[in-house]
Amino acid sequence: GDSVTQMEGPVTLSEEAFLTINCTYTATGYPSLFWYVQYPGEGLQLLLKATKADDKGSNKGFEATYRKETTSFHLEKGSVQVSDSAVYFCALSDVGGSQGNLIFGKGTKLSVKP
């Protein structure tokens, strides 16, 4: 079945460091891909998305490019801030499949130190 694999955390970085959180997927159809963020004590929020190959999603300085050839959707940010400390979830939605739900990775906890 469809699945999402993301790098295990926790990831600890200093402020202004470069961030990459790897995400790869397995899907039988043509999925849409998402990154969600969960700040401490809050619910999940959609961070960015891409609906087809080569699309780049971007928001709040974060970017991710839908790479069909490598089945990846890695999250990047050039200069992280303390306020970016959160848990990041990669997810896919197989629009062509029978399921209507998003399939999530296990999440990667990011801690940014001043």
Nearer to other proteins, 51 or 71 (CB): 51
Name every residue whose Cβ is closer than 8 Å to that of residue 100 and which is 6 or more positions away in sequence. none
Contact between 1 and other proteins by CB under 8 A: the answer reads: no
In the region spanning residues 9 to 68, those forming contacts with other proteins, defined by CB under 8 A, are 32, 34, 36, 42-46, 49, 51
Peptide bond between residue 10 and the one before it cis (omega within 30 degrees of 0):
yes
Stretch that binds other proteins, among 11-19, 20-28, 65-73, 89-97 (CB under 8 A): 89-97
Helix/strand/coil for 98: coil
Shortest distance, position 113 Cβ to other proteins, whole Å: 21
